[in-house]
Amino acid sequence: MLIETLSVFPEMFEPVMSTSILGRARQAGIFDFRAYDLRDWTHDRHRTVDDEPYGGGQGMLMKAPPIYEAVRSIASSGPHPHVVFFTPCGAPFTQAAAERLAMQERLLFVCGRYEGIDERAYDLADERISIGDYVLTGGELAAMVVTDAVVRLLPGALGDAMSSVDESFATGDSGGLLEYAQYTRPAEFEGAAVPDILLSGDHAKVDAWRRENAIDRTCRWRPDLISSARLTDSERALAEQ
Ligand code: SAM
């Protein structure tokens, strides 16, 4: 997979893209990453990418022409990228969206700054994504969040191939629930003991405990996920009690 970003702060990305799992996945050729500077597609002495909004109002807006020129130029070589614009007005980013984006061969992330982007530039977008109901100063952090969530789903990116399958929100067998509680040594800490079943060595019982615990935690902390979770009839009856 090739992931590219277009922004006015391309230097923000390298530390994240060369550290830990992302860094190792990149070195192993599981994904490649390029950060482009939008100012490279300007034509004035000041390399201007923003201007005042029509109709007045606070702040500056990113101009459509450099974004158009940049996206067209980047997309002109290789397979056509799936183009994502980051904006608080986009669809909320979810694990299901990460799984969908992980199927793409090439992603191009367009990051806004200032008060946002001239609406006409969004005509280039295959989709608009928001990473949450809050406002960041720029789309670069959103692009890093989405890159991280996508890359860890790529085959070989994580040491244990199962660890991105059996996780919170995963849409596969775990069915879109929160993950079950996990414990490591010591078996007792500050008066709290690890549940006996997890020490029993009985894998079927451990699996059953984890499933029940995942449903229980989801009901308690994210009841909004229960209606779309993949539950058996008896699990749903219990969850909805
Ligand atoms: N005026 C805009 C609004 O109220 O919706 C906010 C603009 S924000 C200060 C500048 C840029 O940061 C946006 O163009 C977008 O690229 C990025 N951004 C801010 N919050 C975001 C979020 N929650 N999700 C994704 N991108 C975000």
Q: What is the pTM of this model?
A: 0.96
* Alpha carbon nearest to ligand 1 atom 12, residue: 138
Residues near 79 by beta carbon (within 8 Å), at least 6 away in sequence: 105, 106
Question: Residues with beta carbon inside 6 Å of ligand 1?
Answer: 86-89, 111-113, 115-117, 130-132, 134-139, 142
Which pLDDT score is estimated for 161? Answer: 59
Which pLDDT score is estimated for 87? Answer: 98
Which pLDDT score is estimated for 165? Answer: 78
Q: Which atom of ligand 1 is nearest to the CA of 135?
A: 20
Counts of helices then strands in the chain (DSSP H, E) = 8, 9
- List, in order of start, the domains of the chain with CATH numbers: 2-151 (3.40.1280.10), 166-239 (1.10.1270.20)
Which pLDDT score is estimated for 162? Answer: 62
The shares of helix, strand and coil residues in the chain, as percent rounded to the nearest 5, are: 40, 15, 45
Mutation pick for ligand 1 pocket among 119, 124, 136 (CB with most ligand atoms within 8 Å): 136
131 is in an annotated binding site: yes
Q: Which amino acid is at 39?
A: R
Tens-binned pLDDT, residue by residue, of the chain (241 aa): 999 999 999 999 999 999 999 999 999 999 999 999 999 999 999 999 999 999 999 999 999 999 999 999 999 999 999 999 999 999 999 999 999 999 999 999 999 999 999 999 999 999 999 999 999 999 999 999 999 999 999 999 998 656 777 899 998 888 899 999 999 999 999 999 999 999 999 999 999 999 999 999 999 999 999 999 999 999 999 998 8
Length of the chain equals: 241
- Cα(218) to ligand 1 centroid in Å equals 30
78 is in an annotated binding site: no
Residue 44: helix, strand or coil by DSSP? coil
| C-alpha to C-alpha distance for 234 and 20, rounded to whole angstroms | 41
